[in-house]
């Protein structure tokens, strides 16, 4: 039997929020955190029914969905992954003795990757020559006024989580590349 891939709680929350956003569902992070919390009590690979039961009723009502539907999406998002407990992440990070202060990637195309470990704060930026600044400005103005975007910005979720959710919303709704959407999300969150 193949061993389940281990992911951090932050990665699990990101996967869940992305799937929720792709469904058109709104979550201030409470539902995703509840699912990850339920998985943590079940040694990281809890029963899908138990994970779906952890989703707050308010999330189901607000998004007009059933618990069975959210269970299917949770399964798709986590794809059988085992969620590491927070203390395991810390031990692994300390055992690796890897400390990187600055990483520079010179790339004119898309770049996808993960930076940081559980509890780390990572700031990743990409300089791309062909970004249409007028499009960024227009989308920034549009999403400053958008009620869904304002709800994301004002949610109590961590800043990186809000930025990711807002960027996913912009990319999905506008059909733009994620790097352009991330720039719009940064501008909206920073009030630029």
3-state class of 124 per DSSP?
coil
User: 77-118 pLDDT, tens per residue?
Assistant: 888 888 877 554 444 444 444 444 444 444 444 555 555 554
Return d(Cα 155, Cα 89) in angstroms, integer.
26
**pLDDT value, residue 10:** 82
Domain boundary assignment for the chain: 6-86, 120-192
| CA 147, chain centre distance (Å) | 20
Query: In degrees rounded to 5, what are phi and psi of residue 51?
Result: -65, -45
65 versus 30: which is more confidently predicted?
Answer: 65
Entry pTM = 0.46
Return d(Cα 38, Cα 25) in angstroms, integer.
20
Percent of the chain with pLDDT over 90: 11
Do the beta carbons of residue 116 and residue 122 sit within 8 Å? yes
């Amino acid at each position: 039997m193949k061993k389940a891939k281990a992911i951090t709680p932050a990665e699990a929350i990101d996967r869940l929020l992305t799937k929720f956003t792709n469904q058109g569902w709104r979550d201030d992070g409470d539902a995703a955190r509840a699912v990850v919390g339920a998985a943590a009590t079940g040694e990281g690979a809890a029963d899908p029914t138990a994970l779906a039961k952890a989703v707050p009723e308010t999330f189901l009502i607000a998004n007009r969905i059933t618990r069975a539907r959210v269970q299917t999406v949770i399964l798709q998002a986590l794809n059988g992954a085992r969620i590491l407990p927070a203390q395991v992440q810390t031990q692994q990070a300390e055992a690796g003795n890897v400390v990187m202060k600055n990483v520079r990637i010179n790339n004119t195309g898309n770049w996808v990757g993960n930076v940081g470990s559980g509890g780390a704060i990572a700031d990743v930026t990409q300089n791309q020559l062909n970004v249409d600044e007028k499009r960024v400005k227009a989308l920034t103005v549009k999403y400053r006024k958008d009620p869904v975007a304002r709800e994301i910005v004002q949610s109590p979720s961590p800043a990186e989580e809000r930025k990711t959710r807002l960027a996913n919303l912009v990319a999905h709704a506008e059909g733009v590349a994620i790097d352009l959407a991330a720039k719009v999300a940064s501008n909206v969150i920073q009030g630029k």
